[in-house]
Structure 1
Amino acid sequence: MLVHALPYTLHVLASLIWVGGMFFAWMVLRPATAKALEGPARLRLWGEVFPRFFGWVWVAVTTLAISGVVLIHSRFSGFETAPRYVQWMIGGAIVMVAVFLRIHALLLPQLREALAREDWAAGASALARIRRMVGINLLLGLLVVAVASARWSF
């Protein structure tokens, strides 16, 4: 059992960092910035926030993948024999990583370019698309956490 403690702990912590960060950004930071800052200042703030948060997301994604593989092989002898809830977690994680990659590779550069040009309309458009994708990923992350913690068998 002790063999599983470290990878399991790292897996849970990485999940908390990623999903908790999205929850904070969506439910706390977004409404606060909308109320307290004008458009250009709000866009500049998000232009600073995303690279910092996404650095942590990369750490979380890497940690989740490594710890997940270790747990699957040490507890269940592979994917085929893992319980259904573990397979659902993996599927959810794959979708979440795909959404994150879309944000990081396609939408964040659009926001950066708009900020560099001081094109506030293009920046607001890019931020709105990022916000939607983060919202989708937050919902997926909460669902994955619910499936994992309840160990539902679908």
Structure 2
Amino acid sequence: MSIAITLHVLSAVIWVGGMFFAYMALRPVAASLLEPPMRTTLWRDTFNRFFPWVWAAVILLLVTGYWMLFKKFGGMAHAPLYVHVMNGLGLVMMAIYLHVFFAPFRRMKQAISAQDWPEAGRRLGQIRMLIGINLIIGLVVVAVASGGAYLIV
């Protein structure tokens, strides 16, 4: 169980922390200093490095989360409400990430290859909005995970 919780927490920290850094630190600096061709290229290259870590995090979160769910609670029927909240919100986050990866990110890369900077910027705007939503959900999940046993019965 200690291995599962450690991998689970590290995966959440990597994913949510990465989104926090990207949204709160890198995004405003890139927007203020770089013209669209450089800005969208920076984000493409940043996401190319970050998204494999998110894939690993998603897989580990699912494996370790369900491992702990069945090992500790014997399944969903016996899990407390905060575990159901974490599970549901985590699945929503994963669905948003899959959409980002397979739709606007792919289209942004295509637009950059075609040097269609307005389209690349539009797709980056979609990604920014979705990552912002995922960041808020992720912070809620962290709050539920850390205090849910005490806050939600």
Establish whether TM, by shorter chain, passes 0.5.
yes
Partner of 2:64: 67
- Give the TM-score taking structure 2 as reference length: 0.96
- Alpha-carbon distance in structure 2 between the residues aligned to 1:51 and 1:139: 22
Partner of 2:127: 130
Q: How many residues align?
A: 151
Displacement of 1:23 in angstroms is 0.2
Tell me the secondary structure at the aligned position of residue 80 of structure 1: helix
- RMSD, aligned α-carbons: 0.9
- Show the 5 A alignment for 1:5-154: 5-151=2-148, 152-153=151-152
Displacement of 1:73 in angstroms is 1.1
Q: Could you give the per-residue CA deviations for residues 39-74 of structure 1, whole angstroms, max 9, x where no partner exists?
A: 110111011111211110000000000100110111
- Alpha-carbon distance in structure 1 between the residues aligned to 2:34 and 2:58: 31
- Give the TM-score taking structure 1 as reference length: 0.95
| Structure 1 runs (4+) greater than 2 angstroms displaced | none
Q: What are the ranges of 5 or more consecutive residues in structure 1 without an aligned counterpart?
A: none
Tell me the secondary structure at the aligned position of residue 123 of structure 2: helix
1:143 partner letter = V
Q: What are the ranges of 5 or more consecutive residues in structure 2 without an aligned counterpart?
A: none
Tell me the secondary structure at the aligned position of residue 89 of structure 1: helix
- Alpha-carbon distance in structure 1 between the residues aligned to 2:103 and 2:2: 37
Q: Could you give the per-residue CA deviations for residues 130-150 of structure 1, whole angstroms, max 9, x where no partner exists?
A: 000000000000011111111
Q: What percent identity do the matched residue pairs reach?
A: 44
1:135 partner letter = G
- Alpha-carbon distance in structure 1 between the residues aligned to 2:95 and 2:67: 22
- Alpha-carbon distance in structure 2 between the residues aligned to 1:11 and 1:112: 31
